[in-house]
Structure 1
């Protein structure tokens, strides 16, 4: 499979490139140069990391100058996490605000990811309680209406069953209460 290289982000006018081949990889050297941090130190830091060290690889890719270079890369999904570990105090002043903003977005994304589930459960619980109350109110109303319907049927049956003689005994009027 032929690799494609494309920009996925920008740091201080330097494009962060993604090697889009069998595995999407991000070379870390251009990022280090854009941030003015020591590339070799970052490779050591990545290699010592329990997670990043297991996914970092050397990959040959075409540089901006068209030449082939062997570069230390991280899979795209891990490169974003590695950037979160960069200390803003160690980057060049022009990049500091970008790193701080990025870290703030990461904190927000982490919070949203882990709190959304508990927020969902809290909202679901409130909705369930409200709906249970609504069902109980409707059930009570239904029971009352059902009783009224039964009473109305009884009255209807009394009217149907009333005889002429009963009507005469009641002084020529129906004495059935229609106002339950």
Structure 2
């Protein structure tokens, strides 16, 4: 096994766990906060939009089973890469779409994938997802972890807030 990590922000972290958690080779998907200037932020602090953090997921995976490139491709299918102001019903800076890279290899993969998506013709608008160096990742409070398993009705309500129809329109 070759363990690696990836960090993605794409709106509410509740909705970002399930698509990755279901893939072969995924060891864990943890919800948290990254990209800001406050150490160990709380959900309440991040929600104020004053910490600079995004809600994100940190994925630990076996790269012998699933590649970082595969994860980036999945990422595109569960976010709106044309919306810099948030994702679906989740609005604001803490919900902006960002791929956080840990090294030059991840950066190159993410940038090439973004360019491929921009040239694919799938979207009429520019691809605005940011690709930024990873900063410290702070795990969210335990009640946010595996939300889709703990609160399936609420999760389904969140998912139906525009993400499902967007995915259906662009990726099915």
The TM-score, its normalising length taken from structure 2, stands at 0.25
Bigger strand fraction:
2
Larger Rg: 1
Higher RCO, 1 or 2 (CA under 8 Å, sep at least 6)? Answer: 2
Bigger helix fraction:
1
The TM-score, its normalising length taken from structure 1, stands at 0.25
